[in-house]
Amino acid sequence: MSLTGMQIFKYLPAAKKSEGTNCKKCGCPTCMAFALKLAKQQISVEKCPFAPAELVEQCKECSKTQQHEIHLSKDCKVGGETVMFRHEKTFVNPAAIFVKLDPDSADFEKTFEKIRKYSVERVGETFKINGIYLTGENPGIEKEITGAGFALLTADDSRIVRGANLQELACNSMNKINQGENQLLLMPEIKEFSVQKILETFTQIRRKAILDRYEPFTYPVIADLPHFDDVYKICALASMLICRYASIIVLDTFNEALLASLFTLRQNIYTNPQKPLQVESKVYEFNEPDENSVVLMTTNFALTYFAVAGELESMPFGSYLVVTPSDGMSVLTAWSADKFNAEIVAKMLKKVDLASKIKTRKIIIPGLLAHMKEELEEALPEWEIVVGTIEAFGLYDFIKNNALN
């Protein structure tokens, strides 16, 4: 594992109160400053003339690659991971989803056309299949696939290293490395539906790569799923491998419902929790609203926005949705962090100048913010504050029953 600043510092002169304490020969003002920069790999250990051999050796081990990042196409790269668990730092490249196709199949063109057209949108992001895994050779079809922007793997791809077990996989990988190849993809054999066995295999490969920097396993891992008639089994196994620890998942069939489920899970796993999904703060219009249309307000948290937007799009009348800046926080979180208050709301309404577009002076706020009604009425005396529903699905009935449209 990587060394922390404090772990490095204990080897340096300042920690031992010996010769060279804070000598500045490394270019840093103190030994602690040097240790922190070295932990972030912003400086070389050789810069310190007093670094002991033990520290030099540990830094050498830590500098070894944990998992190589492999570019399969312009928009598809896999690997490059540095941690076992997301909370330690972050996961880097989402597991790529491939679909297996037989180039000699009579249905190839029909299926490939479906794959080409397939996409699913969720919370402002559009997802498509990342690549195609061909079970046979066909130069013309291979060119068609790459020309359409998909990554391509084939059954006889020289980059793929196979193994019936971990020992065989490591041996075959090392043979390739010794031949000078460094763009490898590991493919452990999956023969049966055994969640425990598959999980153990993929976890051991990741652990040896990340924690031990075991060279034969420092490459992205492919999960080539066997054919199962039960799509729920495929979904369960693929879902597990997205979490633990496949770099590429090859599906035996093209199933839109299955893909939508996997894309949803993958987005949740690979979204950085320190950077919440958010939309632009502005006024959104739905169904060609006019000067008499209803006005609603919420925060710019993407999940909140799309929940409300989905309901407004389905209504038979126009509406305006004012989205306030809240650093991507949900309604109650934004309020508790003082990111949704009367001052922010007033500034937002003034900025978008909504009053000049409409005659109505009613604005619906989320039901969870009912306690803000009086505060908002004081800050916005020209507006009537209406406390709406807690859940977005109740908006249509609420608006109709209160004659707000």
Indicate whether 22 and 48 sit together in one domain.
Answer: yes
Indicate whether 99 and 185 sit together in one domain.
Answer: yes
Domain contains 121: yes
pLDDT at 400 (0 to 100): 87
pLDDT at 83 (0 to 100): 87
CB within 8 Å of 7: residues ≥ 6 apart: 39
H-state helical runs in 230-287 = 231-243, 256-270
pLDDT at 328 (0 to 100): 87
Domain contains 335: yes
Indicate whether 164 and 217 sit together in one domain.
Answer: yes
**Domain end among 243, 270, 297:** 270
Indicate whether 158 and 34 sit together in one domain.
Answer: no
Domain housing 374 = 283-401
CB 43 within 8 A of CB 31: no
CB burial of 1-40 (b: ≥16 within 10 Å; e: otherwise) equals ebbeeeebbebbbbeeeeebebbeebebebbbbbbbbbbe
Indicate whether 48 and 73 sit together in one domain.
Answer: no
CB 272 within 8 A of CB 278: no
Which CATH number fits the domain that encloses residue 242? 3.20.20.20
pLDDT at 72 (0 to 100): 94
Domain contains 276: no
At residue 147, φ and ψ (nearest 5 deg) are: -65, -25
CB within 8 Å of 360: residues ≥ 6 apart: 291, 292, 293, 294, 295
Pairing relationship of beta strands 151-154 and 319-324 according to DSSP bridges? unpaired
Domain contains 316: yes
CB 299 within 8 A of CB 323: yes
Domain contains 277: no
| Residue found under tokens 């312009």 | 74
Question: For each of the chain's 405 residues, which pLDDT tens digit applies?
Answer: 578 889 999 999 988 888 889 999 999 999 999 999 998 878 999 999 999 999 888 888 777 788 999 999 988 999 999 888 887 778 889 999 999 999 988 999 999 999 999 999 887 788 999 999 999 888 889 999 999 999 999 999 999 999 999 999 999 999 999 999 989 999 999 877 788 999 999 999 999 999 888 999 999 999 999 888 899 999 999 999 999 999 999 999 999 999 999 999 998 888 766 677 788 899 999 999 998 899 999 999 988 998 999 999 999 999 999 999 998 888 999 999 999 999 998 899 889 888 888 888 899 999 999 999 999 999 989 899 999 999 999 999 999 887 665
- Extract the tokens encoding 54: 């033990």
CA distances from 350 to 25, 107, 112, 159, 291 (A): 57, 58, 51, 59, 17
**Domain end among 238, 270, 302:** 270
Q: What angle do CA 395, 337, 322 make, to 5 degrees?
A: 35
pLDDT at 85 (0 to 100): 87
pLDDT at 118 (0 to 100): 95
pLDDT at 350 (0 to 100): 87
Pairing relationship of beta strands 294-299 and 69-73 according to DSSP bridges? unpaired
Go through the chain and tell me how many residues it has: 405
**Domain end among 45, 62, 79:** 62
pLDDT at 94 (0 to 100): 93
Indicate whether 112 and 209 sit together in one domain.
Answer: yes
Indicate whether 120 and 54 sit together in one domain.
Answer: no
- Extract the tokens encoding 347: 């500034």
Q: What's the total number of domains in the chain?
A: 3
Domain contains 257: yes
pLDDT at 274 (0 to 100): 66
Pairing relationship of beta strands 96-101 and 131-134 according to DSSP bridges? parallel
CB 246 within 8 A of CB 95: yes
Domain contains 275: no
